[in-house]
Structure formats: structure tokens, C-alpha cells
Structure 1
Amino acid sequence: MEESLATRLATLGHPQRLAVFRLLVRRYPDHVPAGDLAAALGLKPSTLSSYLSALRQAGLVRQDRAGTSLRYAADMEGMRATLDALFLDCCRGRPDLCTPLSHPPLTGSRAMPDRKYRVLFICTGNSARSIFAESILRSLAGDRFEAHSAGTRPFSELNPFALQVLRDNGHDTDALRAKNVSEFQGPEAPAFDFVFTVCDQAANEECPVWEGQPVSAHWGTPDPVAAEGTEAQRALAFRQAYGEMQNRIRAFTALPLDTLDRISLQRAVDAIGPDGAKAPA
């Protein structure tokens, strides 16, 4: 155990290997193509390959293949073993020496019947996918959830195709606007119970530290703004993105939040994402 712990800590002690691992954790449980990792981190393929090889040998990253593409995911069992070893060995299992690794369940004072859960959806432009998620959650369960959305680099205006899809589905779009994620940071910002990224690019970026340690997950959805073709084909891409997000929001609102502990809830929201079926139970 000491040898494997030392290997993992030494592997993560390299700043760029740590950056690869952190990105994969942000994208978890997604299996990310090597090309996407290289592009997101600005690494040469050969350099990335050596980092991934070291992380795999240390038991921190898993690899699979989809056609001709190699894909990678964080090995959370390896990471849990590392954290357990640090807590049980180095800290001798004493919570007064090391912060406990377990989190309280999302129950008790955090689940008061007269209180709404606050949810934030993040994408890059905040012009379509995150706006869809905000509107759908407000429509499906606005009595139980307070929905917000933001972008890491928001557009000045919402996408007209997205607005049309929302109107076609009966949503009021008058109050919607693109917002920067910075609006939800700082001492005066509301504390969130859930934070979801809905585009790969936003998940690839360094995330802010959210007060209160909200439950977070990545629900990557293809970008309809990037769709090409005729106007009808582009409109179809937005309808498909809306439908995919609607299915995820329905699954989310069906979760028995008052009965799930933190670990079970995290697994449940991970399973709603695109690669959720691949996440270990």
C-alpha cells in the first residue's frame, strides 16, 4: 500500500499530469478522447500520451476504445484508495487532524420542506443548452427548485433558434438573458445545492470553488450552435438538444432527494450524464 500511495502522489506531483487528472475528474464519468484532452490542455499528443501512461500505471486513469479513438476517464476507485490511505495511515483516522472525507447527506436542515433547492447550469456561451436547462427545470418543478444558468464566456444575446424552441414548448422567454458565472460568485451570491455543467468546454475549464460544496455533475450535450446545414437542419439540432436536456431534467426531478445520502445522490446525478452508465456503482 505504501508503495502504491507513494507512486500515486509522485505521479500527481507533476503539475501537468495533475492538470490532466483534474480535467478528467471534472468530466467524470465521461470517457474523453485523447484529442479532446490535448486540445483542452494545449499539449502535444506525444506529451499527453506519456502523462496518461504514467497516470494509468499509477491506477488513477482508465482507458477504453471507441472505434479507432482511445478514450480516458478518471479511475475514482484509485483516487478513493489514495485518499483513504492518507486519512487512515497518515492521519491515523483522526478527524481532528484531517478533514473527514465523507460529507453529510443532503437531508436535515438542508432539506426543509419550505425551502427550494438552488440549481445552477453552466455552459460556455449561456445562449442555448444551459438556458434550456434553466427553463425546463423551472417549468417542471419550479415549486421545488430555484433554477439559474450562466456562462463562462457568455454571448451578448440568446440564440434565436434556442428562443424559438423554448417558445414552441410553452416557455416564457421575456426574462431570460445570458449571464456570466461571476454573477453567482462572491459573498453576496446565493449558495447552490447543485451545479451542473452542460457543455464539455465549460467542464474542461477550471471551476470556481462553490460555497457549501454543492453536488456537481457533468451533463455534456452536443452544441446545437455548432450545427451546420440548412436552417431546418440547424433548428433540428436545437430541438434535439432541448429534448435531451428535458429527459435529464425529468430524471433529476424524479430523484428522492429527501432519502438519498450524499454519496448515493452523487452517483444518481452522475448516472444522468451521457456516460453515466459507465460510472462504477
Structure 2
Amino acid sequence: MDHDLDADALTALGHPGRLAVFRLLARRAPHGVRPSEIAEALDLKPNTLSAYVTTLTRAGILTTWREGRSVYYGVDLKRVGTLIQFLVNDCCRGRPELCEPLAARSLERLAARQAGGTRNILFVCSGNSGRSQFAEAILNRNGDGRFRAYSAGTRPGRRLNPEAASVLAAHGHDTGGLAPKSVTRFEATDAPRMDCVITVCDQAANEDCPPLPGLPLTAHWSIARPSAVEGADRAAAFAAAYDAIEARVTRFLALPVETLDALALQSALDAIGATRAAGKGA
């Protein structure tokens, strides 16, 4: 093991700005994020972001690639995994008071899945007035009792978006009990424990929210913000967002979740999220 490289990685992460960039990209992993989006989310000047990314890349933590004309930054998950192994196995020497709490939470989650029963899925977007409500309604109706879906917002609105409500009603959903709520509701110790937390908008995925209890799996399914569309195309944008979410939920329901281990389920969730809907938005 190259301890010099490990030291470089820890040094790179020891700066608050670089750590913020890394944490944002880790929340979006395994997908990449454009520099302009990172700069906007973290309120960074382009030259500052460039300096941060250069240091993190030299330390082996980040990777850069192109898709067409766009540049993307992403976390090198294999390298980060090696760094974590170094911290646990070498620096901490496997001490139970440090390592066993993490292992216990992982085993608790695995045992709960293998025991069967309903699995809790939380969908998160910024306002919780449209896209995440679509996902909650679709999964609860089509999940055949295998799942219990919830939704929340990082900055919840005051009411369900009327255009979203119209789309839900057109698809036969009862909107009477749907209302925006904060993701902080699910941080409480007495809140339902989530098996998976799925963000459905880039803005929510970019925000620095604390992890929920129980160490749930996380994934990001980017769906364009329909309320950003103006004029005659606005209704079509809401309909398209519903269709995109329904397609992803359908793929999720086809998974043999009851028999998949955590790594296989995470890979499947990431693969579903890799299918980008037309357009972009928060």
C-alpha cells in the first residue's frame, strides 16, 4: 500500500473547500457533475474550483472525463475504498470500539432486508411539490405491498404543485394526503427507518444534508424540473417528468430486491439513475 498517496489524499481532504467539493461529488457518485454546477452549488469562483479539483485529482481521489463538449468531475470510488481500508485496517487496527458500530449497522440493515417485509423508500427533491410526490404515489400504488414510499424536500414548498396534482389525478392517484414535508422529519430517532433514499433532482442531491438513521442505501435519479418550463410546453414537461419517474420505478420494481445483497442493489439503483431524462434541471 502506498502510504504517501494515502497521506496526499488525507491532506487534500483536510481543506474545508476541497472537502465540500469531494462531499458533493460523493453524494452524486457514481455519476459525474459539471464544473459549472459544482461552482453554483458551493458558491465557488471557477478558478477556485479548478484549484480544488486539481489538488484532489493529483491525490487520486477525483477523476475527470468528457461527454461530448462537457467536462465532468467524479469520485474515484475504488481509490476512496482503498483509503477507507487504510484508515480502518492500518490506522485503527480494527479496534472494535471504532469499527464494530459501522459493521453492526451494516449487518442490521442486511438482516432487515433478508427478513422480508415491507421496505421503506424515501424520494427527495428540493420542493417536494412535484417529482418526489410522483415517485411516492407511483411506488405506493404499484409496489404490491413490497414497499412503503415516502417523499420529502430539502426546501419544501407550501403545497403540492397544482400542475403536478393535475397529472397525478389524470393517472388515477388520490392526491388528498399528499403535501410537502421536510426531510428533517425523517432524521428523528422515532421516524420510519429507510432502506433506500433516492434523490430525484440535482439541487437536492447537491445540498449538504445529514445522513439518515440506519445507514440506508442512497441513489440519484436526475429528473428535469418541470416547473422551470414556461408557456405552452409546461404541462407537457410535468407529464414527461411523471413518465420518466414511472419508467424508473418500474425498473426498480422488476428487481429481485429480496435476494440482492447491498452491493448488487446499489449497482442496480445506480444503473437506473444513469438513464437521464430529456432536459436538465433542479
Same fold (TM over 0.5): yes
- Residues 1:37 and 1:211: Cα distance change in structure 2 (over 3 Å): same
Post-superposition offset of 1:185: 2.4
User: Could you say what secondary structure the match of 2:139 adopts?
Assistant: helix
User: Could you say what secondary structure the match of 2:193 adopts?
Assistant: coil
Post-superposition offset of 1:97: 5.6
- Residues 1:200 and 1:275: Cα distance change in structure 2 (over 3 Å): same
- Larger mean CA deviation between 255-264 and 117-126 belongs to 255-264
Matched, 1:271 2:274: no
| Inter-partner Cα distance in structure 1 for 2:122 and 2:112 | 20
Q: What is the alpha-carbon root mean square deviation over aligned residues?
A: 1.8
* Contact 1:30-1:275 at 8 Å conserved across structures: no
> Which runs of no fewer than 5 residues in structure 2 stay unpaired?
277-282
| Inter-partner Cα distance in structure 2 for 1:21 and 1:168 | 42
Q: 1:49 matched to which residue of 2? A: 50
Post-superposition offset of 1:4: 0.5
Q: 1:279 matched to which residue of 2? A: none
* Contact 1:31-1:275 at 8 Å conserved across structures: no
Q: Counterparts in 2 of 1:28-47, with a 5 A limit? A: 28-47=29-48
| Inter-partner Cα distance in structure 2 for 1:119 and 1:151 | 14
Post-superposition offset of 1:9: 0.5
User: Could you say what secondary structure the match of 1:32 adopts?
Assistant: coil
Post-superposition offset of 1:60: 0.8
Q: 1:124 matched to which residue of 2? A: 126
| Inter-partner Cα distance in structure 2 for 1:249 and 1:275 | 12
Q: 2:280 matched to which residue of 1? A: none
Q: 2:256 matched to which residue of 1? A: 256
Q: 2:163 matched to which residue of 1? A: 161
| Inter-partner Cα distance in structure 1 for 2:109 and 2:99 | 19
User: Could you say what secondary structure the match of 1:65 adopts?
Assistant: strand
User: Could you say what secondary structure the match of 2:231 adopts?
Assistant: coil
Q: What amino acid is the match of 1:217?
A: A
- Larger mean CA deviation between 38-47 and 103-112 belongs to 103-112
| Inter-partner Cα distance in structure 1 for 2:214 and 2:110 | 14
User: Could you say what secondary structure the match of 2:214 adopts?
Assistant: coil
**Paired positions, count:** 272
Deviation readout 1:68-109 (Å, 9 max, x if unpaired):
3321111111101111122232233x2526416763385444
| Inter-partner Cα distance in structure 1 for 2:185 and 2:228 | 26
Q: Counterparts in 2 of 1:95-114, with a 5 A limit? A: 95-96=95-96, 98-99=98-99, 103-104=106-107, 107-113=110-116
* Contact 2:226-2:234 at 8 Å conserved across structures: yes
Percent identity of paired positions between Structure 1 and Structure 2:
46
Q: Counterparts in 2 of 1:175-254, with a 5 A limit? A: 175-230=177-232, 233-254=233-254
Q: What amino acid is the match of 1:6?
A: A
- Residues 1:182 and 1:229: Cα distance change in structure 2 (over 3 Å): same
User: Could you say what secondary structure the match of 2:124 adopts?
Assistant: strand
- Larger mean CA deviation between 196-205 and 186-195 belongs to 186-195
Post-superposition offset of 1:257: 1.6
Post-superposition offset of 1:152: 1.1
Q: 2:279 matched to which residue of 1? A: none
Post-superposition offset of 1:275: 6.2
Q: What amino acid is the match of 1:41?
A: L
Post-superposition offset of 1:170: 1.5
Q: What amino acid is the match of 1:87?
A: V
Q: What amino acid is the match of 1:21?
A: F
| Inter-partner Cα distance in structure 1 for 2:87 and 2:111 | 30
| Inter-partner Cα distance in structure 2 for 1:143 and 1:91 | 43
| Inter-partner Cα distance in structure 2 for 1:142 and 1:126 | 24
Bigger helix share: 2
| Inter-partner Cα distance in structure 2 for 1:97 and 1:179 | 36
